[in-house]
A and B are shown apart, each in its own frame.
Chain A
């Protein structure tokens, strides 16, 4: 009987320890490559037209494209969770028509030209979740050069009839023209 109650006590203590572990909450540290949000709006107070949610890795003295990020392989275009692009209106992305909605942006970097891919398989990690069958659009963009950028960046710049989405890291720049469909009146 004594043995029995000892056993029960041991089980009870183990249980308590385990449940203590279950209840303790681990919170994530800050990411080394933090996320950021880039919006394109017609003006500061108007509703957004395009939103990019992406991870921002740092160069840290490394050669980026062709080394850290190899050419000719699908890249998650950032860090951590796959980069998410939301179009609030139908757009023409490069040379492809795309319906309003949320997509994951991937790229296949190259020395002279990149392929940019919009995928409908969202909420995935990095490029592990990339599956070609979910491709919505593929478009190509030429590489241009500018001053070196430490953190991977996505920015929008309004032009007369379209908006440019530019990806920048190191001295590499990739610019995709996006035409936003005007609402029918």
Chain B
């Protein structure tokens, strides 16, 4: 009887121990991380890099429903969305120094507030600290074809470059100015 008891204890100890020593890896995220780059055609070094989580649409309405208006949103999923500027530039018509920032937004029906914050390597928007804000800009909302997966991309029209935040039928086009004259001026 005693023998069985000891054997059982021994087996349990062994199982526990092997679990302690085994390396646990994360499962694949439901809302996977993705990377978007803005490249200058001539230079090999990128101008802007965004690392963000890509949630998928589950409800009929995303903004104003699944993502409420008027509240800080992590602008993606999981780890806070990170934006790296390789040069000084204008982001939403405001100057921003080269560096890495967390980007949060406050969605609204007609316009969004875009926030760059220096408190990087945080999870979601839970650690948002307004005192670490680097800039806030307001950008009007546009509508376009519905897309299921939250996307951040860069777009050029004839004159301007935009960082586009897109989900559902919502588009928020944040103007970027990256020209050399501007960089020289800063």
Contact assessment for A25 and B166 in the assembled complex, using a CB-CB cutoff below 8 Å: yes
Contact assessment for B23 and A123 in the assembled complex, using a CB-CB cutoff below 8 Å: no
Contact assessment for A27 and B153 in the assembled complex, using a CB-CB cutoff below 8 Å: yes
Contact assessment for B164 and A29 in the assembled complex, using a CB-CB cutoff below 8 Å: no
Contact assessment for A155 and B33 in the assembled complex, using a CB-CB cutoff below 8 Å: no
Contact assessment for A36 and B149 in the assembled complex, using a CB-CB cutoff below 8 Å: no
Contact assessment for A35 and B33 in the assembled complex, using a CB-CB cutoff below 8 Å: yes
Say yes or no: is A151 at the interface (Cβ < 8 Å to chain B): yes
Say yes or no: is B181 at the interface (Cβ < 8 Å to chain A): no
Residues of A within 8 A of B121 (CB): 39, 47-48, 51
Chain A at the B interface: mostly helix, strand, loop or mixed?
Answer: strand
Say yes or no: is B111 at the interface (Cβ < 8 Å to chain A): no
Given the contacts A30-B54, A53-B51, A151 and B28 also touching, CB distance less than 8 Å: yes
Report which of B23, B54, B144 forms a contact with A25, defined as CB distance below 8 A. B144
Say yes or no: is B22 at the interface (Cβ < 8 Å to chain A): yes
Question: Shortest distance in angstroms between B44's beta carbon and chain A's nearest beta carbon?
Answer: 8
Contact assessment for A81 and B35 in the assembled complex, using a CB-CB cutoff below 8 Å: yes
* Interface size class, chain A: 35 or more
* Residues in B1-50 with C-beta less than 8 Å from chain A: 22-29, 32-37, 45-46, 49
Question: Shortest distance in angstroms between B17's beta carbon and chain A's nearest beta carbon?
Answer: 14
The answer for the CA separation of A26 and B26 in the assembled complex, in Å, is: 31
Residues of A within 8 A of B33 (CB): 34-37, 53
The answer for the CA separation of A31 and B136 in the assembled complex, in Å, is: 31
Residues of A within 8 A of B49 (CB): 123
Contact assessment for B26 and A34 in the assembled complex, using a CB-CB cutoff below 8 Å: no
| Chain B residues within 8 Å of chain A by Cβ, number | 35
Report which of A34, A154, A164 forms a contact with B32, defined as CB distance below 8 A. A34
For residue A34, which residue of chain B has the nearest CB? B32
Residues of B within 8 A of A155 (CB): 23-26
Residues of B within 8 A of A175 (CB): 23
The answer for the CA separation of A39 and B123 in the assembled complex, in Å, is: 11
Say yes or no: is A8 at the interface (Cβ < 8 Å to chain B): no
Residues of B within 8 A of A19 (CB): 158
Report which of A23, A27, A154, A168 forms a contact with B149, defined as CB distance below 8 A. A27
Contact assessment for A36 and B29 in the assembled complex, using a CB-CB cutoff below 8 Å: yes
Residues of B within 8 A of A142 (CB): none
The answer for the CA separation of A27 and B133 in the assembled complex, in Å, is: 29
Contact assessment for B25 and A22 in the assembled complex, using a CB-CB cutoff below 8 Å: no
For residue B22, which residue of chain A has the nearest CB? A146
Question: Shortest distance in angstroms between A51's beta carbon and chain B's nearest beta carbon?
Answer: 7
For residue A48, which residue of chain B has the nearest CB? B121
For residue A150, which residue of chain B has the nearest CB? B28
For residue A169, which residue of chain B has the nearest CB? B25
Interface of A toward B, CB cutoff 8 Å: 19, 22-23, 25-31, 34-39, 47-48, 51, 53, 56, 80-81, 123, 146, 149, 151, 153-155, 157, 164, 166, 168, 173, 175
